[in-house]
Structure 1
Amino acid sequence: MARKLTLFFSFFLVAWFTQLQRFLVFGHGEPKVPCYFIFGDSLVDSGNNNDLNTSAKANYPPYGCDFPEGVSGQNLGFKNFTPPYNTATNEDLSTGVNYGSGSAGILEDTGCHLGDRVSLERQLKNHESVVTRLALQLQNTEEHLKKCVYIINIGNNDFINNYLMPNNYPSSHQYNLEQYADVLQKHYTQHLKTLHRLGGRKIAVFGLGMLGCAPAEIEKYGTNGKPCVEWINDAVSIFNNRLKPLVDELNVVLPDAKFTFINMSNILAPRGGEPLPNKPCCLVREDGQCIPNSIPCPNRSLSVYLDSFHPTEIANRVLAQRSYTSIYTEDASPYDIGRFARES
């Protein structure tokens, strides 16, 4: 039954997982999956940070300028739109919850200089609470949860708001990039096993995008004539290259589950033609977010980034489409999210 949800959007990037949700839920006929759970950072945060004491929220224009229902305070008429955890009611739980939190990371202290945030560990604790509440509503919670799709898009801040900020965090002094990737992988593995323990069986693990192409990093470090900061993209690759083997290992040690790796860097890599400029489409303040109520560039389809960190709607659409139905074998391994929806 269609219903209205009043939400404050923390970041406009909610658009990409909403596009993905349309593939899963809003196609013709019955939903392809009964429920959809979302974990991650600002790329998926749909309002969980709004009431937190943090600067990592953007519930103001121009964020939402390309989202059909706009930004703060809009009534969203999407059928079964996945609500943020902080506003989810008992009626919402069976169809899914969004736990994403801007500035959150795999590591607990990531993003702490920006204020409060809900780390991945805390997001999983929130999910455990939801599973407990669901057990009071459903006769067979385990059977229900194993049919759901779970996506996790996190790790960006473990670089942007941790390792790449040596004056705020000790990580770059303690570890080289290989060692840091190992630390992240170790923590991530435990978090993914926790999600499996809580009933997750169809789990899509998103890799990191090319963080060295973010306007904020280009402005900070320079590119030596290259399009992006290559050493940052190399650092991201070190971590991303551990995710596919991690997914393969989990599929062996947890054979009742289906894990898959979504290669965001490959999906968003320019292919042919002149690459779009890596410049923010809005006027940005010192922290890289859009200045409130500023006017963004008129043709955002020709821009990769809306602000200094986050992509525009055109990039979100490409990510949603190709994570659901991969075009290249490198996009998703061992299968795309669409296959989750088709298989029992």
Structure 2
Amino acid sequence: MGGVNYASGGSGILNTTGYLLGQRYTMDLQLYNHKIIASRIAKELGGADVASKYLGQCIYAVEIGYNDYLNNYYGEGYNSSKIYTPEQFAQLLVQTYETQLERLYNEGARKVAVFGLIRMGCMPAYKNIFGADESSCVDKLNQAAQLFNNKLQKALPKLNANLPGAIFTYINSYEIDSENVTGLGFRFTSKSCCHVPNGEIPCAALTYPCPNRDEHVHWDGAHYTEARARIFAKRAYQRQLPVEAYPYDISGLVQVPLDETDDHCSKCGHKQW
């Protein structure tokens, strides 16, 4: 099994996101790269129609938006928070994102799992930056994530209704991230596995990671350890509760026949949206 990954560290929905970090591939540039790949596939298979049918069988996973907050709205050196309220900024992000997802559809995507944001305010680095104690999280970051997620959930059914054959399904990352991780064997929920300088995210250079990484939720100041990511991925693939993914989890998305996609909204129980 193979695929293509367009992800880029520091990238965002907005082209201005992360510009102080240096070179990165924004969502618009990632879509441009996908357009190139789609054209190569069309040339290889003998035409755009054949390529579209081929790409329609693929599963697309899209997760973006964190950097728009952490390296833009709430980041030092950016002006977004002076221009927009949190409500306005979430609306700007989701409207832009909606257009980008439509561009993905226009290049052949039909089955798309769109991930919401996890609890950004519980990441160790941002707890340090914003002064939250070990047992709490940064409320304004989590509230921003929920604002974004709520608007995203409302946008996806519109895409499904307006784009023939599209199945955009929502992975409720915030809900999955909110589970009791101590019951899953994690002893360290706020402490990074590697040494992280105060207020930063990557592991400090020339330092050793912890030997018990399976007991840590976070690898560095923001990112999951492999142990936590594996559990999260399993829940996204096969939900334990309906609220964790809808109308489909990824395993359900895989099973939807292409010839039924035009009629999927009558079968997916979209009243949950």
SS at the partner of 1:136?
helix
Amino acid at match of 1:153: E
Provide closer, same or farther for how the CA distance between residues 293 and 226 of structure 1 changes in structure 2, counting only shifts above 3 A. Answer: closer
1-side partners of 2:181 and 2:53: how far apart?
Answer: 45
Match of 1:130 among 37, 41, 48: 37
Query: Is contact 1:268–1:318 with CA below 8 Å preserved after alignment?
Result: no
Q: Which stretch of structure 1 is more off in the superposition, 107-116 or 293-302?
A: 293-302
Instruction: Give the alignment of 1:179-258 within 5 angstroms.
Output: 179-223=88-132, 226-258=135-167
Which residue in 2 is equivalent to 1:107? 14
Are 2:127 and 2:133, in contact at CA under 8 Å, matched by a contact in 1? no
Shift in CA distance, 213/301, structure 1 to aligned 2, threshold 3 Å:
same
Give the Cα–Cα distance (whole angstroms) in 2 for the partners of residues 247 and 190 of structure 1.
Answer: 11
Match of 1:282 in 2: 194
Q: What pairs up with 1:140-159 in 2 under 5 angstroms?
A: 140-159=50-69
Counterpart in 1 of 2:27? 120
SS in 2 for 1:256: coil
Give the partner amino acid of 2:211: P
- Deviation per CA, 1:90-137: give whole Å up to 9, x if none: xxxxxx311000000000010111101000000000000111111110
- Structure-2 separation of matches of 1:332 and 1:312: 22
Letter in 2 for 1:143: K
C-alpha separation in 2, matches of 1:182 and 1:284: 33
How many corresponding residue pairs? 250
In the aligned structure 2, how far is the partner of 1:293 from the partner of 1:269?
A: 33
Residue 172 of structure 1, aligned match among 63, 76, 81: 81
Report whether the alignment pairs 1:308 with 2:218: no
Partner residue, 1:320: 233
Match of 1:98 in 2: 5
**Normalising to structure 1: TM-score of the pair?**
0.70
How far apart are 1:198 and its partner, in Å? Answer: 0.6
Q: CA RMSD in A?
A: 1.6
> Quick check: 1:151–1:205 contact (8 Å CA) kept in 2?
yes
Please name the residue that 1:333 is paired with.
246
The one-letter code matched in structure 1 to 2:236 is: S
Residue pair 1:212, 1:232 contacting (<8 A) in 2 also:
yes
**Deviation digits for residues 186-207 of structure 1 (CA, Å, limit 9, x no counterpart):** 1001000000011100011111
What residue is the counterpart of 1:260 in the other structure? 169
Shift in Å, 1:273:
5.1
Say which SS state the counterpart of residue 137 (structure 1) adopts: helix
Which residue identity lines up with residue 55 of structure 2 in the other structure?
Answer: L
Higher helix content, 1 or 2: 2
Alpha-carbon distance in 2 for matches of 1:299, 1:224: 23
Look up the SS of the partner of 2:6 in the other structure. Answer: coil
Identity rate of aligned residues, in percent?
Answer: 39
Flag structure 2 segments of 5+ consecutive residues without an equivalent: 258-273
The higher-RCO structure (CA 8 Å, 6+ apart) is 1
Cα displacement (A) at 1:254 = 1.3
